[in-house]
Amino acid sequence: MIETPAEDIEPLPPPPRSRRWLGKSQLALAALVFAGVLLSAILAPWLAPFDPLAISLSDTFQPPSATHWLGTDPLGRDLLSRVMHGARVSLLISAIVVSLAGVLGTLLGVLAGYVGGVIDAVVMRLVDMQLAFPAVILALVLSGAIGVNMSNLVIVLTLANWARFARITRGEVLSLKSRDFVLLARLAGASPGWIMLRHIVPNIAGTLVVLATLDAGSVIILEATLSFLGLGVQPPTPSWGSMIAEGRGHLSTAWWVCVAPGGVLILTVLAANLLGDELRDRINPILPQTW
């Protein structure tokens, strides 16, 4: 087989200017949407026009108007206020779960990849067992087993998401532990703990940040799914999933009850995924760019 010299290979032409402009516009729009949702969640107690828990039976099923921008629900509660407070719940739970799952998965992945042996076998079998079940099914089983409240919801979502961090971290560690700087650290007498903490973890930090960003959208969807099924955030606390569940029986007469939280949920997850893709491209410039 005749190989073509590297210098004779013509580089791929850059993407058209229109495509680059479209990609940058999408990224800017995603950043604007996510920033808007984040700010509305943080400032919800001051920006929300109504109390999200205030019931007004005289205002039930009000369509979007100048008074209620997103309309009202079956109990007359303002949907805009509830969507804003629901963002606080979803983003807070997502941040806590991604942090806990990232720490747990990274710790087990680093130990499995660097130490190997029995620890590696045990951790990877646990990872295989966890990944064998769809995240929603696993979360449903765990929720039914340990009960339903906010603390248990965080535990359930953490146990359903740590395996991805462990698997990817282990793969990164396996490629790093044979590198020269790790071997030199061993020759210098550094302990395994010191090598993992000071030489391994800093070199996989970029990968972990990208994975955490991409995982945030999955956690938001999983939390909304559990809340939709009644196993997540419990009423009267606003949650996008429970709000969608409340309006599913009124789609033909009051479509805005479902569309308002559902639309915000879709836009938030889409924006988070687009930002995660861009962050991945920036940290790993070798990968093909999407624009």
Give, for all 291 residues of the chain, the pLDDT tens digit.
344 444 454 544 555 555 555 557 778 888 899 999 999 999 999 999 999 999 988 889 999 999 999 999 999 999 999 999 999 999 999 999 999 999 999 999 999 998 888 999 999 999 998 888 787 888 888 877 787 788 888 988 998 899 999 999 999 998 888 888 888 888 888 888 888 888 888 888 888 888 898 899 899 999 999 889 888 888 888 999 999 998 888 888 899 999 999 999 999 999 988 888 888 777 765 444 443
Q: Domain map of the chain by residue range?
A: 71-283
Quote the pLDDT of residue 255. 93
Quote the pLDDT of residue 187. 83
Q: Reduced to 3 states, what is the DSSP secondary structure of residue 43?
A: coil
Residues 6+ apart with CB under 8 A from 37: 87, 91, 264, 267, 268, 271
Quote the pLDDT of residue 285. 53
Quote the pLDDT of residue 138. 80
> Max alpha carbon distance in the chain (Å)?
81
Fold of 71-283: MetI-like fold (1.10.3720)
Quote the pLDDT of residue 249. 86
Which amino acid is present at 22? L
DSSP tag of 72: B
Quote the pLDDT of residue 9. 46
Q: At 99, list the tokens.
A: 């942090």
